[in-house]
Amino acid sequence: MDIARLDARMQPCHADGSIDFGSMSSTLAQAKSAQRRAPLRAVRLGPADVTVERRADGSLLMRSPHPLQPYPNGITERLVHWAKAAPERVFLAQRDAGGAWRTLTYGQSFAAARAIATALLARDLSPERPILILSGNDLEHALLALAAMHVGIPYAPISVPYSLVSQDFKKLKGITETLTPGLVFAADGKAFARAIAATVPADVEVVTVANPAGDRPTTPFAEFANATPSAAVEAAHAKVGPDTIAKFLFTSGSTGQPKGVINTQRMLCANQAMIRSSLAFITDEPPVLVEWPPWSHTFAGNHDFNMVLFNGGSYYIDEGKPLPGAIEATVRNLRDVATTIYLNVPKGFEMLLPYLRTDAALRQRFFSRLKVLFYAGASLAQHVWDEYQELAVAATGERIIFLSSLGSTETAPAAIACTWETERSGNIGIPLPGVELKLVPREGKFEARLRGPNITPGYWRAPKLTADAFDAEGFYRIGDALKFADANDPGKGLMFDGRIAEDFKLATGTWVSVGPLRAAFVARCAPLVRDVVLTGADRDDIAALIVPDIEACRKLAPDLPTAAPAAAVVADPRVRNKFAQLLEALADPGRGTSARISRAILLAEQLSLDVGEVTDKGSINQRTVLAHRAALVEDLYADPSPANVVVAGRTTIAHQTR
């Protein structure tokens, strides 16, 4: 039975068509009770115990009592292993122009990596002259990266929007100046021609798979792939050790200009040993992934890609994205490939739901081999969590465990992970084996700091930034605040409690915890809000700049012309009145001033990547938005409130039907 039809049955209606919400609530409660009684699909996970040391200064030191298992000196040692142990197994796959899967086995991948490495060694590349990869996920990108790491040449995969979305290329220029690359790769030279011309010095070689980069001479990637492997490859590989730089990953820039994070071979390999300890089932059955997030980010590029490589799995490159018009490609891929673990950002899980809800065949395929659902990058809405469990039970009769973790580009990334079932979204677990977590009291919160073999040695060519990132004991300051899921039992895991740099004080001296309030506001206003920027430092109360979901808001005013601009949508009285009501509902006098938003402005203008208001991952830089839109912040606190300000409980003139 399709879930859509089941949902319709669960809505008791009177003869006049009205819904009996009391009966519906009871029916939903019964359904959730039945869901909770369904068995959990068997999956082997890691240990869930932790030791806690309480220090005299009030800080806590948490670590796993279990030792970190041995790991290799270099990540491509696992490519060598699987090329011998399972040479015919599919390692990488990507659809070709005709829509068919183009695959590379472990044997083919290692042979190609050796050939490409031979060409790289002939070009005097090094940490001082690394490889810059501008284009996104594809087979050639993967092979070039593996070849470089195999012979100790660092590479840097760069976020594609810095080349294709940015108009001034400011961030890409900064990255290029920091790295001084010796070689630049772009799959399609034509697409990246403007970015290359604006940022890459004329004497740097450019390699493309297709199309030259404008008038600039380019080397065909085929010359690299067709090179004859030489003994120099093995000699160079023998010199690769734990301290060899594998890659440079640039931070998203949510707190400023992207920083070049040094990723050593030790970081990557130790982190995979840590992940194995938490997701123990990946050693029983090689993981199969279908994945879209870019390899320029540590989540996909380190955690997921290396997890497949380390454990002999198969990685299917998903050309889709969690966006209208692009999610359909993801759905097509999931019809073809049944994954053993599905990892995504919360938006990706949300966008997939309507398809799983209405398509029984897709639902059956999706859940058939699935051991774990895994979200990262942001908090997952509880209703999304709940519906995936309902869908899993409908398809298989079993619940599928939902897990998450916490880390950053500087931690390779996994540092803290949950290895047990929880009823609610948000638990990030406990430190992984090999990781030490220090919780330092700060303004009523615990600031998290991390130490272990998965932590970066620093930022490339930025000694001051590196020094500032570590405390006197060598713990990395991740910048997150954490709290205990159960204050009386640290073993029940930790919860994200906001970014330390985002919190501020009201004029009363009361601290505002931005992260939790922001998450609560977005959840309460779903689906009308994409994000919110809170302001109120040294003010009497909190106000907000709201990033609305324009298409969702448009449904509040269905008779607006389809082509009506965003400014017309947010100015419509029906939209404004809805937000006035939402603000009023959240402004309960029983809530303190640090938990109430009194007024807001709905932003019609998109946040700017070039200015730095939003990162390539879609994360908002709160401070930059407030600085760039200082005039709007002043409007929020003007008396009387200007027309563009929505005030809690204050509705505008009732809309007359056109």
Predicted confidence at residue 510, as pLDDT, reads 80
Compute the CA torsion angle 151, 154, 160, 166 (nearest 10 deg). -150
Residue length of the chain? 658
- Which segment of 343-347, 352-356, 593-597 scores lowest on mean pLDDT? 593-597
Predicted confidence at residue 588, as pLDDT, reads 65
Count the neighbouring beta carbons within 10 Å of the beta carbon of residue 3: 19
Torsions phi, psi for 451 (to 5 deg)? -145, 140
d(CA 125, CA 236): 12
Helix (H), strand (E), coil (C) string for 25-72: HHHHHHHHHHHHHCCECCCCCCCCCCEEEECCCCCEEEECCCCCCCCC
Predicted confidence at residue 25, as pLDDT, reads 42
* Residue written as token pair 């997921």: 304
Kindly state the DSSP code that residue 282 receives in the 8-state scheme: G
Tokens standing for residue 643: 């027309």
What is the enclosing helix (H) or strand (E) of 385? helix 382-396
Kindly state the DSSP code that residue 620 receives in the 8-state scheme: B
- Could you report the per-residue pLDDT of 230-262, keeping only the tens digit for each? 999 999 999 999 999 999 999 976 556 789 999
Compute the CA torsion angle 402, 408, 414, 417 (nearest 10 deg). -40
* 91, 314 Cβ separation under 8 angstroms: yes
pLDDT at 10 over 70: no
pLDDT-derived band at 514 (thresholds 50, 70, 90) equals confident
Predicted confidence at residue 110, as pLDDT, reads 98
In 405-531, which ranges are continuous DSSP H helix?
463-469, 514-525
* 304, 311 Cβ separation under 8 angstroms: no
% of residues, the chain, pLDDT over 90: 76
* 138, 123 Cβ separation under 8 angstroms: no
- Which segment of 4-13, 50-59, 214-223, 480-489 scores lowest on mean pLDDT? 4-13
d(CA 411, CA 434): 12
* 489, 461 Cβ separation under 8 angstroms: no
* 607, 625 Cβ separation under 8 angstroms: yes
pLDDT-derived band at 610 (thresholds 50, 70, 90) equals confident
- Which segment of 85-89, 208-212, 340-344, 627-631 scores lowest on mean pLDDT? 627-631
Helix (H), strand (E), coil (C) string for 519-543: HHHHHHHCCCEEEEEEECCCCCCEE
**Mean pLDDT of the region 566-592:** 87
- Could you report the per-residue pLDDT of 434-480, keeping only the tens digit for each? 999 999 998 889 999 999 999 999 999 999 999 999 999 999 999 99
